[in-house]
Structure 1
């Protein structure tokens, strides 16, 4: 990414709070395919954790386990001190309302305007809001991503970068404690990717959210992550700051940085 010297690296300011998310010895298989093989890690309040890994390494399955979309075979996953592996669907939904998602493709409803997309998400998470309260929440979310002028547009009228930012506004509108970013800079040009990186950083600082960022983009990992873990075959191969990972002596980890 060009002109990135003005972006301080977040891992120089590591979060020191209590753990909001904790994986303890988590296993998950699909038939004979062992996807997670006893992974353990934490995410502190206000911390951005980047998960690096090649296709099939277990990144997406770890996130599905985190939100209870797939059941673990063994192990525990704590969110705010509650083991979500032992919760029923009603209690899982309560936990999910603390989590915002930025999907790789934005995942907006094509037939709805930007306003309607955001209100749909807000109504799903918060009942009995007045029209004025919803409109205020929509405008605040759009201000956070710099797209107030897009409020009445349809997704098809927006660029890929704008759709990604609207997707982020939709994640923010529920005021989540946790945000999960799935390839947030995937498919974007260099300038737009830089804008998304800055938004991720600024949102974390403004709202003290805890984030898990799944990415193949090393620049995104470098400038958004307080800490990075590298998955290989469902195991944590390396963990530390971006600089730690970049200087890791393991040949497989080094392969991420080969041009």
Structure 2
């Protein structure tokens, strides 16, 4: 394995587990726009990794490459020991079944109730479940996000924060090994954002999932991340704990913390 440009190893990180996800020298361009420029990093089993960066830094493209929505130009992306860049679409779908995705918008089906949204996702990923098993699973995840009473509501009846919670419930219902959070606090007021942050922390404890959190929100990064990497122009500019990043001597990294 190639060493990261900014290796940070501490006792807490070592206690989390073996690498579950690994990017090895990954490049991605769209035409003349170089988005990822040879990034290498790992995510350990049970770890919350925050990918921090401003718009256009490459953080969302990294996730698209991870789930196979974009093909890499060069490099390897390894999940559970398999290089997904070498897999066909059927094999990638098998890997995707292990991943729960919280979209920035929540991305619920507007024509379905909360129950139907969650049941549809479960039935798509887990075959041969009876109605009792589906109902139990739906109620369990809604309880874990604190919204069991919303089971028969339509998405249009939900606030932005509630939609995020239901989106997270939908990600959790397949019992994923990996959860990807795309700007989980984006567009939320301060109080609701704090609630989502606490929920992410709670989910980590309940599910012991491995998570990647894409954000430009420093507060979210501080309270949800075991480790943080900061991308700029498709390269890793800094890596470490929140305290490490906050005390980094790089002027550009310091600019993240300027009010």
TM-score, structure 2 length as denominator? 0.94
**Counterparts of 2:184 and 2:53, CA distance in 1:** 15
Give the match for residue 145 of structure 1: 145
Is it true that 1:119 corresponds to 2:124 in the alignment? no
Per-residue deviation, 1:16: 2.8
User: Contact 1:118/1:170 (CA < 8 Å) preserved in 2?
Assistant: yes
Q: Which residue of 1 aligns with 2:3?
A: none
Q: Aligned residue for 1:84?
A: 84
Match in the other structure for 1:195: 195
Partner of 1:253: 253
* 2:34 match: secondary structure: strand
Q: Report the Cα offset of residue 13 of structure 1.
A: 4.5
Aligned counterparts, 1:101-180, within 5 A = 101-180=101-180
Q: State the alpha-carbon separation in 2 of the partners of residues 92 and 155 from structure 1.
A: 30
- Counterpart of 1:18 in structure 2 is 18
Distance in structure 2 (CA, Å) of the matches to 1:117 and 1:131: 14
Give, in whole Å, the separation in 2 of the partners of 1:244 and 1:122. 40
Residue 29 (structure 1) shift = 0.7
Q: Which residue of 1 aligns with 2:208?
A: 208
Distance 1:215 1:154 in 2: 28
Deviation at 1:151, TM superposition (A): 0.1
Distance 2:12 2:41 in 1: 19
| 1:38 and 2:38 aligned | yes
In 2, the alpha carbon distance for the partners of 1:56 and 1:193 equals 23
CA contact (8 A) 1:47 1:211 kept: yes
Tell me by how many angstroms 1:129 deviates: 0.5
Describe the superposition over 1:133-158 as per-residue Cα deviations: whole angstroms up to 9, x where unpaired. Answer: 00000000101100000000001101
The root-mean-square deviation of aligned C-alpha atoms, in Å, is 1.1
Q: Displacement, 1:74?
A: 0.5
The CA distance in 2 between the partners of 1:29 and 1:248, in whole Å, is 29
Per the normalisation by structure 1, the TM-score is 0.94
Q: 1:18, 1:45 within 8 Å by CA — same for their partners in 2?
A: yes
Alignment size in residue pairs: 249
